[in-house]
Amino acid sequence: MATYKDIQRLTGLSLSTISKYYNGGSVRQSNGEAIQRAADELGFQINDFARSLRRGTSQTVGVLLPALDNGFHLAIIAGVEKYLQVHGVGVIVVSSHPEERRPGGAVDALRSKRVDGIVAVPSVHDAEALKQADEAGIPVVTVDRTFPGLETDHVQLDNYAAGAMVAHYLLDHRHKRIAIIGGDHSVPSLTERHNGFLDALEQRGVDREESWSSENDLTIEAGRRAVRLLLARGNRPTAMFAANYELTVGALIGLNESGLVVPDDMSFVGFDIAEIAQVTRPPMATVVQPMAEIAEHAARRILARMNSSDAPRDMQTLPADLRTGSSVRHLGQPASTAT
């Protein structure tokens, strides 16, 4: 069976560098690539059981999600697992849907499995249990959202800037009557998108019209219902922004049922629908999160925290991308001209 010394023989690197690489430490990219090439050539594999016995650890990380039914959450699982498996760390996935578990029950389930750390997209009913886990010495990294009192390493999208970016884009296309289907304001990331959007409108001299701001559950049906209600109002908006995946899908269903044509009758920007946007006609404008980067940052951070509890708290904020598609009409141009 190949050992660190065999990798040292092929790479010429020190045993400490090789050990650091396999324990999640920071090494030069060229050194990491050389170690991985040598490991592949030798068929080297980490002996997880032996390492766990030496460390008194389980060599597993819990991934806690509100649900397992959307692309963002599944991308977090895939990205975290991809990064950690290289370092011999397994993943246990649990969901914390409040209708299925008592508050904190999902965190307790992970702690009962003796996980060495937790990567969480937390819901409000997880916050206290995650705080207790962190205080008990179990490293926690939160993703996408966090809550007051939950002071952990954190990775998120720049949600405020994402909301503002959409508002400026629609304003640049001369829209002033703009609706946001903003989601549940108890979710911090949705609140930030909503605030960024409305602040940008205000900065550009557009009044915040409450009739065009729709607060909803984060479901497809809620997005569909919001469109129906917005279109039923007098002086309806000329453009809509749906601020997460489920709301976007529901809003598109609602627009399709209304008989309105996008973008001639209604301009539209969605969120996290990069694949759907490619098959709609016209292709939809959408905000895209760097999901793979978010997951890798979270995995890298939990591994570093597992190996050094004294490391300072770290917060990573990543930028969003707006893919413009053809679903937004410039009001200074004839119908059927969109960008």
Query: How far is the C-alpha of 1 from the C-alpha of 122, rounded, in Å?
Result: 41
pLDDT band (50, 70, 90) for residue 24: low
3-state helix/strand/coil string of 65-109: ECCCCCHHHHHHHHHHHHHHHHCCCEEEEEECCCCCCCCCHHHHH
pLDDT band (50, 70, 90) for residue 48: low
Q: How far is CA 303 from the centre of its chain?
A: 19
pLDDT mean across residues, the chain: 87
- Measured CA to CA in angstroms, residue 27 lies from 152, 303, 304 at distances of 24, 14, 12
Q: Which amino acid is at 72?
A: F
**pLDDT of res. 47:** 63
Helix (H, G, I), strand (E, B) or coil at 307: helix
pLDDT band (50, 70, 90) for residue 301: very high
What is the rounded average pLDDT of the residues 7-24? 86
Share of the chain above pLDDT 70, in %: 91
Residues 61 and 119: beta-carbon distance below 8 Å? yes
Alpha helices in 244-289 (DSSP H): 245-258, 274-279
pLDDT band (50, 70, 90) for residue 261: very high
pTM for the structure as a whole: 0.77
Alpha helices in the chain (DSSP H): 4-11, 15-22, 29-42, 48-55, 71-86, 105-112, 127-135, 159-172, 188-203, 220-232, 245-258, 274-279, 291-307
Q: Which helix (H) or strand (E) holds 268?
A: strand 267-271
Query: How far is the C-alpha of 45 from the C-alpha of 87, rounded, in Å?
Result: 10
Specify the range with the lowest mean pLDDT, choosing from 68-77, 287-296, 317-326.
68-77
Q: Which residues contact 164 (CB under 8 A, 6 or more apart)?
A: 196, 197, 199, 200
pLDDT band (50, 70, 90) for residue 339: low
What would you report as the CA-atom Rg of the chain, rounded to the nearest whole angstrom? 23
Who has greater pLDDT, 149 or 103?
Answer: 149
Q: Report the 10 Å Cβ neighbour count for 101.
A: 17
Query: How far is the C-alpha of 115 from the C-alpha of 139, rounded, in Å?
Result: 10
Give the bridge partners for 329, in sequence order: 338
